[in-house]
Amino acid sequence: MTSEVPARNPILDRPRRVAYVALGCIMVGLGILGAMLPVMPTTPFLLAASFFFARSSPRLNHWLLNSPVFGPFLRDWDRHRGVRLRVKVVAVVAMVTAVAASIVWGNLAWPIIVLLLMLATIGLTVVIKLPVIRDAPPVDRPV
């Protein structure tokens, strides 16, 4: 007769759960900040927040996935591992507009402009390489 000890679920471990909730909240904050700053991404931080919330707080994960602003693309990423074409276009246009505005009106030194352009190029490359979710074509119905 063997007495097996059931494996502990890390989600039930209180210190880890508290740390994951804190990390998730920090990631949401960085994601919101990234939505407003031209060189800081939003999506990776929100994906990380969803990762932490899914393992620590179903309530916070539900809140994030049902957010009217961030929920749709997080659900798309979770289900399809891609983004809709509209999301990609909006991200590219917003990034280019923010970088251009920073260069034109930011009164930045040349080294900062070069750094901004390098970071924007990396960000644009990441966004452009994201897989696009193609909606299923409409089904032809007999008349």
What is the model's pLDDT at position 127?
A: 86
CA 88/CA 125 separation, integer angstroms: 11
- How much is the average pLDDT of 106-132? 91
- What whole-number distance in Å separates Cα of residue 48 and Cα of residue 26? 10
Tens digit of each residue's pLDDT (9 = 90 or more) over 24-37: 999 999 989 888 87
State the average pLDDT over residues 127-135.
88
Q: Reply yes or no on whether the pLDDT at 93 is more than 80.
A: yes
**Is the pLDDT reported for residue 82 higher than 50?**
yes
Q: What is the mean pLDDT of the chain?
A: 84
Share of the chain above pLDDT 90, in %: 45
Through-space distance between the first and last CA atoms of the chain, rounded to whole angstroms: 69
Residue 59: the pLDDT is 94
- The confidence score (pLDDT) of residue 138 equals 53
- Exposed, middle or buried, 104 (CB in 10 Å: 0-12/13-18/19+)? exposed
pLDDT digits (tens, 9 = 90+) for 3-26: 454 444 545 588 889 999 999 999
pLDDT, average across residues 42-64: 91
Say which residue, 95 or 7, is predicted with more confidence.
95
